[in-house]
Each structure stands twice: as C-alpha cells, then as structure tokens.
Amino acid sequence: MSRSVRLLALLQALRCRRYAVTAAALARELQVSERTIYRDLSELAAQGAPVQGEAGVGYMLRPGLFLPPLMLTEDETEAVLLGLRYVDQRGDDVLTKAAANAHAKILAVLPQEGQIAATLPMTIPGPKADGFPENKVPLSALRSAIRTCRRLAISYVNGEGHRTQRVIWPIQLGFMDNARVVTGWCELRKAFRFFRTDRISSAEIRDRYPARRADLIRDFHAQLSDEHSEGKSPDRN
C-alpha cells in the first residue's frame, strides 16, 4: 500500500467513526504498525485534516472543511452511480437535477478506467416508474418544513376518500416506485405515520416542533421495528 493510499484509508477509517479510536485499533485495521499510524496522523493534521486526540486516549475527526481528493473503489463507484440512477428515475425535479450534477462531478474526477466502467455499469435499477400522481402541495414546501423542523397543518384524504385535518412533525420524504410520501409524527394519532404527498390537499407551515429531528428519526425507526415484530403496518392514517 502506497503512502497516499494509506493516508486516505486512515482518513476514511476516522470518518467512519463517531467516537475516538486508538492508534492500536487503527493499526490493526490497516495492518500497519502503531508508529506508522502516529506518523500518518501527524501528516494528515499537517495537510489540514481536523484530527484531534492523543496517544492512549484515541483520535477522531472534528467537523471541518478539509476535503481530500475523491478516490472510490470500483465497488464504491458502482454503488454511488446506481444510487444516482435510481434518483434520476424516481426523484422529483430538484433531486433529478442534483443527481445529474453529482454524476458529472464524479465522472470528472474518476480515473480513465473508472470513467469507462461508469459508462458500462454492472448494475441497474428496476424499471422506471410510469409516473407519479400530481401534488397539490409542492414538495419544496414539504422540504422547507422538514429542514426547518416546522409543524405542518395538513388536510389529508385517505385511500377511502375520508378527509381529515392533521398536524404533523415532518421528518423525511420517501420516494417509492409509484408514490411519494412524507413521514411525520401525527399529533392526532400520537405516532409516526406515512402520508402520500398526492393526498395532501393543503398544508400550512407553523411553528417549530418541540423536538430534535435526529431524535424523531431514531424514534421512528424504533416504532417501525416494534410494528414489524407485531405484524402491524405503519401506514395507517
């Protein structure tokens, strides 16, 4: 392993961890000596990587603007490009444009053999969806509410045609094969629910909800796990 490749591997090992990791653990993972790890950590710090820590305690990366050159393995390139093709098929206008821009940026920095492989992919997404029902409320409004952690007062029509008024705490948008959904905590049901975006006839953005979005997402996955174990469906409105 060349030194440049080893430095990138060390950087990736740090980026994959949320907590401090010892030099000994890094040495085992990268199959080098602890002395090499210490020397490489110093080199990364000298190049601008926000490395913090000390011997015997552990090391981690602080949030920062340090961005190394993009280097992906063949499998990583395949995974990223497959995801971009999926977004191109099922995303809305915003995500489709973003996927095209990201695709161009990735191709621009791939080596020649990587660019050739990207034009002849080994994996492809499933058939493109025929189309999505029209939304009365723009997805941009739902995105704004999610990003700013705002309550949404919505008028919703379920699959049986029954209209209800809900106040939800939106946390995620989902892009399915033939529908798009917003996931949120429903104040009426006191639980997380999926709401098809094409069945939301109106939406009013209100004040911030009293919770962290990260905590809500964690609680949402816990609810999904519980309902799955009980054989229940989480899409009941």
pLDDT tens for the chain, residues 1 to 237: 678 778 888 888 888 887 899 999 999 999 999 999 999 999 988 888 888 888 888 999 887 645 555 567 778 888 888 899 889 888 888 999 999 988 888 887 777 777 777 777 778 787 776 778 889 999 999 999 999 999 999 999 988 889 999 999 999 999 888 889 999 999 999 999 999 999 999 999 999 999 999 999 999 999 888 877 777 665 567
Q: Is the dihedral of CA 98, 103, 104, 109 positive or negative?
A: positive
The amino acid occupying position 217 is I
Question: In this predicted structure, what is the pLDDT of residue 70?
Answer: 57
Beta carbons within 10 angstroms of residue 175's beta carbon? 18
Task: Say how far apart CA 15 and CA 6 lie, in whole Å.
Answer: 14
Number of Cβ atoms within 10 Å of the Cβ of 1: 11
DSSP one-letter code for 17: -
Structure tokens of 57? 């305690």
DSSP state of 21: B
Q: Which residues contact 150 (CB under 8 A, 6 or more apart)?
A: 144, 170, 205, 206, 207, 208, 209
Report the top-level CATH class of 3-61. Answer: mainly alpha
Whether residue 84 contacts residue 99, with contact meaning beta carbons closer than 8 Å, is answered with yes
Query: What is residue 124's predicted lDDT score, i.e. its pLDDT?
Result: 76
The pair phi, psi for residue 173, each rounded to 5°, is: -105, 140
Nearest to 13 by CA among 45, 46, 59, 57: 59
Tokens, residue 137: 């409320």
Domain ranges in the chain are 3-61, 74-119, 139-230
Name the CATH architecture for the domain at 139-230: Roll (2.30)
Q: What is the pLDDT at residue 65? A: 47
pLDDT in the model for residue 229:
73
Number of Cβ within a 10 Å radius of residue 34: 15
Report whether 42 contacts 24 (CB < 8 A). no
Q: Give residue 78's pLDDT.
A: 85
Category of 129 on φ-ψ map: left (φ > 0), alpha (ψ -120 to 50) or beta: beta
pTM value? 0.65
